[in-house]
Amino acid sequence: MSDAAGASGEGPHSVEELEALLSEPREQTIRALHECPGDILVLGAGGKMGPTLARMAREAATRADHGSTARRVIAVSRFHNADAERALQVNGVETISCDLLDRAAVAQLPDAPNVIFMAGQKFGTRDAPASTWAMNAIVPAICAERFPHARVVAFSTGNVYSLTSRDGEGSREGDMPAPIGEYAASCLARERVFEHYASANGTAVVIVRLNYAVDLRYGVLTDLATRILNAQPIDLTMGYVNCIWQGDANRVALELLPYASSPPLVVNVTGAKHSVRDLAIMVGTALGRAPEFSGSEAPDALLSDASRMRELLPAPEVDIDALARWTASWVSAGRPLLGKPTHFQARDGSF
């Protein structure tokens, strides 16, 4: 674990320390990029995860290539945030501004044998469903057509599954998807698009079904900490969740590149199942505040079984106890937040 975590166990104390920690590869990440030579293109790199994943790819590639920076790591996004784009460039990541819905613009992107596909839309689906379907179904088709011979790790979501019993470990990759709501349905469309191009062109793909990444600036634990500090009750109806440190999710995405195949390999990327009540108590204890609750746990929840991920790759490096402490320290200190709640409580698929 990086020294940025701090000897106190409180975790990073600044955005710079946080992003350095989120971008730190491990030995398995470096080995994966050694096995997958060539440039790396991160499509949709301007979101919550993209910048730190691109930085991690740059660092891991440099170490895999014994200090050489000849291999290009290119982050592609509309880049509404100029500071975020400059930060990537400072850390050795090239940037290209591109609207991925513009087929002509995508055609001008450089070739790359390794593609991390992160483009998508979740929030705003209820008010603009057509935009969500365009981003989650049309953009994948445009990009899959443009990079038919690349290894592709394509981000999806655990929302493609139905709710399952809170007493089990959650949905597994072989379970039949049963998306609830337009967002989840459009994400399943994204998966089917990549499956189509894998069949039609032999494109090697891994589909990553992620839920929920924790970054301290956002995530389930940040949602809980914010509500506790504001003396707002925590709804327990969606009583169980999975969480994973975003740095671990970044590592896993890059480490899955060598597993890309046709037909695509599907992998749930997440941490263990946790009770929302227990998580709130953990975070509240670290904050020195007792959480308030409302409602009671439903018999089912949105849960994913990550057994396949654990069989293929080393275990995540940051545990839930550390994440609870780090989040409490970050939020209570008034450090920057993204202001993007996860809405993990939603049971109707409306975002």
Q: What is the pLDDT of residue 2?
A: 42
pTM of model > 0.85: yes
- Whether residue 326 lies inside any domain: the answer is no
- Whether residue 233 lies inside any domain: the answer is no
Confidence of residue 1 (pLDDT cuts 50, 70, 90): very low
Is 17's pLDDT higher than 60?
yes
In the block, residue with structure tokens 């202001």: 339
- Whether residue 333 lies inside any domain: the answer is no
- CA–CA separation, 76 and 59 (whole Å): 18
The secondary structure of the chain in percent helix, strand, coil, rounded to multiples of 5, reads 40, 15, 40
Q: For the domain that residue 137 is a member of, what is the CATH number?
A: 3.40.50.720
The whole domain housing 257 covers 3-215+245-272+303-317
- Whether residue 228 lies inside any domain: the answer is no
Question: Taking residues 277-300, what's their average pLDDT?
Answer: 98
Is 54's pLDDT higher than 50?
yes
- Whether residue 227 lies inside any domain: the answer is no
Is 89's pLDDT higher than 80?
yes
Q: What is the pLDDT of residues 199-255, one digit of tens each?
A: 999 999 999 999 999 999 999 999 999 999 999 999 999 999 999 999 999 999 999
Query: Number of structural domains, the chain?
Result: 1
Q: What is the pLDDT of residues 179-204, one digit of tens each?
A: 999 999 999 999 999 999 999 999 99
Record the tokens describing residue 279, joined without a space: 């998580």
Find out whether 26 and 59 touch, Cβ atoms under 8 Å. Answer: no
- Whether residue 290 lies inside any domain: the answer is no
